[in-house]
Homo-oligomer: A and B are copies of this chain.
Amino acid sequence: MLTALAGGVGAARFLRGLVAVVPPETVTVIVNTGDDEVFHGLHVSPDLDSVTYTLAGADNPETGWGLAGETFRTVEALERYGHETWFRLGDTDLATHLHRTERLRAGASLSEVTSEIVTAWGVRSRLLPMTDDRVATRITVQNPDGATTELAMQDWFVRRQAEPPVVSVRFEGADRSEAAPGVLDALDDAETIVICPSNPVISIGPILAVPGIRDALIARRDRVVGVSPIIGGKPVRGPADRLMGPLGIEVSCVGVARAYADFCSTLVIDAADAEHVAAVEALGVRGVVADTLMRDARIAAALARETLAAVA
């Protein structure tokens, strides 16, 4: 049994490689929900959906988000009513949010609805939201006039294209949240725990902020392997560099190793960063070099195989 901690697109691509080399039903994925947001009255869980759609083979490889062949009729029609539509919800994707919202309003937990959605897409791995409670990633940014403003994650990332300089990040509600059913057991019982190549601050960070999860990882440290999302001092995609730097985390695989060192025994880093193995290992984290740039499914599968071998 294998458990993975995952954010959105990078994690989804890695997981697609993973389920090509191990039986999908042996994989449990604990997914970040700090980016969850209500748009037009609907509960949207971007990372859960990215992982689900990618594992179902229905993702859009060109945009890196949403579904292949998607249309945007409803969101375009919402403009007529003055709705802000910078978060582009596709028409097919919308069905997922309608279903989720209706079920949550009827009293189902996010775990239960996630299980329904995953099953409906024919995905055989188990997806767990990190928590059934509401945790919201909030980003404080500096305005041009020097004052600061706190923004919701999607507001900063999508609407403002990650441009406002980051001052701090918090996970609202995390301290009062509980790990979703099955999360702590999946960490306790896993043969291997993988930290997917996701943004350490706003994808993995919220998961670690749920009480009990970091301790569970620390207890299994020798079975935890991470994959660095930073290659050659830059994130493959997404705004990790805009967040790590301001929060004092070096934007490099060494910075990732330092951030994960207390709960992660092994870090897979890219061949381009081979020179940093010694610096990683100086932190007490074993450094393993691989091709981590997942240009296609074959490379993702090879990366997954090497990641598992690193802690075999």
- Residue numbers of A with Cβ under 8 A of B are 40-42, 71, 73-75, 77-78, 80-83, 91-96, 98-99, 101-102, 105, 116-117, 120-121
Query: A208 CB to closest chain B CB, in angstroms?
Result: 31
The listed residue (B78, B83, B99) touching A78 by CB distance below 8 A is: B99
Given contacts A41-B101, A71-B71, A73-B73, 6 further A-B contacts (CB under 8 A): A40-B102, A71-B91, A74-B94, A74-B98, A77-B94, A81-B120
Contacts of A94 in B (CB 8 A): 74, 77, 94
CA distance A120 to B93 in the complex (A): 25
Query: A196 CB to closest chain B CB, in angstroms?
Result: 26
CA distance A153 to B47 in the complex (A): 39
CA distance A250 to B72 in the complex (A): 48
Query: A83 CB to closest chain B CB, in angstroms?
Result: 7
Query: A258 CB to closest chain B CB, in angstroms?
Result: 43
Complex A-B, nearest 7 residue pairs according to Cβ-Cβ distance, in ascending order:
A77-B95, A73-B91, A41-B102, A81-B99, A77-B92, A78-B95, A40-B98
